[in-house]
Structure 1
């Protein structure tokens, strides 16, 4: 709410023309870099030396010269005619920054600051503590504030590496999102005060850094479905130069797949939906598909379906959303009877699945959903009892006939024998028929 008007934030393509008054890389001085010995830090420094002719760089790093490969990095830049001076210390310590700035020679004055320092400590909101938040806020937000107070010359470029998390706020990154949002706001404040400032809210890079090294392939695929794809090194460095030539105080350099944004996935962040490009074939398909009747809820559709199909529909629903959470391309790869813990679920993914199922079913499901119903098939049956409460449960007698689930496997009372017999017996008692057949195919293939 601003002056009685509702405003909804969204991201748009940058159309700001190149400016000669933006942060420029001068060759006649010193560039101060925090966190410059990480993957992106070294990449940025190499780019400044090779593409912009910077010849003197000072890096403030907690490990300093003791960082793996630091000596070789100094020699590498020296061979290119550049001086790299390492300062061991925490950039969040104002005294460390004061001493580093005071040591810069008068004949090579400070011309630019590049703030890359940062740390991660992901977790859902209820797991955060003041100590965990401080671990993330200090290197990013505190260091940025100290640099802001110490660097007041409007001719000194001030570039801060931020993150897309500052506006998208991904689940499990509350502290990191807050730290980067602070940096974005601080840079905006600097610009309003007539000082230099540029915050770069980076998306994911292909080159894994200390902040993204723990991301798995499933995490990357999940991000890709929301439209955010990894930046190659060349793309990232090109976007760095492009962003530094704009007048905007906060820019988000991204590799954005606008077709993926137009896929209709409800998980697309609202801030990105205005950038979606809907493929023509999808538009045509939607135009010809019959619209569901008003008030035609999932429970009503299930009630009209034959009882034998109800469980199958709900199992498919569960597997589809499990696949989305885990980043699988095909829901059929989700085992019906494998526990959620076994297939990689943690508390964060459990909440994501619960939220997705809330939206798909219209129910208000508990946060402990996947722990109370630990496999896709048991979760599907639980949803069945909630959505079709009058349906008979498995094992109930209806008109003298005992009901059973169509996916049930009746175990042979004779134990399996021979090599591998124990594994087959365990699988038979815990797997669906399709999983048994997949297991046999796998064994024959070996």
Structure 2
């Protein structure tokens, strides 16, 4: 809207009275020609020193409901505009600050803002790219602002506040902005008002989060939650669990399952605001019913309160349907034989003693490998297998072997080989000794298999997303 923005003229007059010249204009930041024309309007006697890129547009929808056109439209305003500014200002020696307004949606993620999250994650990466190349660059991932910000509206603010993400007063946000710029001019930061007691349990329900786990308030909230759970076990929880066990002991396995399913359906209605417990299908996934991390944590608390059992916030992820969840509760509350094969009145087999996810014997989270045929990663190995390519090749020329005398067609000839092909790791001698703090002489004396082990061990940890 440019000069027609509400209060634009009032702001211009106010600043002019303080001796500050202000120009408000319109520009499509995803159009390189328009951006260049805008930069050309800056007078030479006042060279450009600061860029603050705040442009953006949002779309509240998950990946499954976002088409390519919508995704492109959302990412263009933020990511494309920032990329063009970066290119146009590469040789601007007067530039002191290149500040990108990012969002918490890109920092900690948002399942219902897929395009917006991706665009903001790009801004964070672009700022880092500039920093590593000695250029001014900073990204600030903002939480929601109160007033007429991008998350304006009671519905948006209500959705975020339920998750512990509180709207910031603009004066407070701007004060934090100026303080951040003064203390850390070229760095990527998050500025947000978070209620950690609400945010942390839901955010870490499915996995640990290195992003927040070292924050003192998060550690304190976790300790208080653990203490509360421990107290509950020894006070109100045990009598509740004992009473429920007594009631279940008087029922058949089928009746026990129906009773626990009823308890779960009531919990679902309480958390999601539904009215008809009987209408909830016992085999329908919690995810399809509308559960997210926040409501999952609330549901676990609700069922824990009703059963007296200590239940993790990840309950609906570990046991993804009401039927699975009921079976798990039954194993916790009823003494059942390992081999029991009861049939329920609804015709479904009883799921007894479902093994917790934590007991999974093997979980592959990172891989690295070397194989003949140029295979240097798990992806390469899969490509080799699916394509059916032959991994056998000619003898390598970098081993110091005398290939002219090594081959002899007679298999009984001593000291020779009767084939010219084999399975070899080409490039096995390309070892970066300096990377591993090993001297070149020591590297030559090492067993080649040890060098390969060093490389693949490092790559495995890196591939798992762990800082080696």
Q: TM-score of the superposition, structure 1-length normalised?
A: 0.56
Structure 2 gap segments, 5+ residues each? 281-286, 300-313, 331-341, 347-468
Q: Deviations over 1:140-166 (max 9, x none)?
A: 011101111112335411111001111
Deviation at 1:348, TM superposition (A): 8.9
Deviation at 1:205, TM superposition (A): 1.6
1:94 correspondence with 2:36 = no
Corresponding residue number in structure 1 for 2:267: 317
For residues 35 and 326 of structure 2, the distance between their equivalents in structure 1, rounded to whole angstroms, comes to 61
Corresponding residue number in structure 2 for 1:241: 178
| Residue aligned with 1:176, SS | helix
Match of 2:69 among 118, 127, 131: 131
Say whether the 8 Å CA contact 1:385–1:391 is kept in structure 2: no
For residues 345 and 121 of structure 2, the distance between their equivalents in structure 1, rounded to whole angstroms, comes to 52
RMSD: 4.1
Say whether the 8 Å CA contact 1:154–1:194 is kept in structure 2: no
For residues 102 and 31 of structure 2, the distance between their equivalents in structure 1, rounded to whole angstroms, comes to 19
Q: Map of 1:7-406 to 2, 5 A cutoff?
A: 63-152=1-90, 153-156=92-95, 157-213=97-153, 215-224=155-164, 228-244=165-181, 245-246=183-184, 248-261=186-199, 266-267=204-205, 270=209, 271-275=211-215, 276-279=218-221, 282-290=225-233, 307=255, 310-322=260-272, 335-336=275-276, 350=290, 352=292, 356=296, 359-360=315-316, 362-365=318-321, 390=343, 392=345
Cα 1:229/1:320, change in 2 over 3 Å = same
Say whether the 8 Å CA contact 2:166–2:193 is kept in structure 1: yes
For residues 36 and 26 of structure 2, the distance between their equivalents in structure 1, rounded to whole angstroms, comes to 13
For residues 220 and 325 of structure 2, the distance between their equivalents in structure 1, rounded to whole angstroms, comes to 32
Corresponding residue number in structure 1 for 2:353: none
Q: Deviations over 1:113-145 (max 9, x none)?
A: 010000011211122212101111111011101
For residues 288 and 21 of structure 2, the distance between their equivalents in structure 1, rounded to whole angstroms, comes to 45
For residues 205 and 5 of structure 2, the distance between their equivalents in structure 1, rounded to whole angstroms, comes to 40
For residues 34 and 197 of structure 2, the distance between their equivalents in structure 1, rounded to whole angstroms, comes to 47
Deviation at 1:364, TM superposition (A): 3.7
For residues 21 and 11 of structure 2, the distance between their equivalents in structure 1, rounded to whole angstroms, comes to 11
For residues 354 and 288 of structure 1, the distance between their equivalents in structure 2, rounded to whole angstroms, comes to 23
For residues 246 and 174 of structure 2, the distance between their equivalents in structure 1, rounded to whole angstroms, comes to 52
Deviation at 1:241, TM superposition (A): 1.1
| Residue aligned with 1:83, SS | coil
* Larger Rg, first or second structure (1 or 2): 2
Deviation at 1:250, TM superposition (A): 0.7
Cα 1:241/1:160, change in 2 over 3 Å = same
For residues 98 and 169 of structure 2, the distance between their equivalents in structure 1, rounded to whole angstroms, comes to 24
For residues 169 and 112 of structure 1, the distance between their equivalents in structure 2, rounded to whole angstroms, comes to 28
Q: Deviations over 1:153-183 (max 9, x none)?
A: 3541111100111121111111111101111
| Residue aligned with 2:213, SS | helix
Deviation at 1:209, TM superposition (A): 1.5
Q: TM-score of the superposition, structure 2-length normalised?
A: 0.53
For residues 288 and 19 of structure 2, the distance between their equivalents in structure 1, rounded to whole angstroms, comes to 48
Say whether the 8 Å CA contact 1:137–1:175 is kept in structure 2: yes
Q: Which has the higher strand share?
A: 1
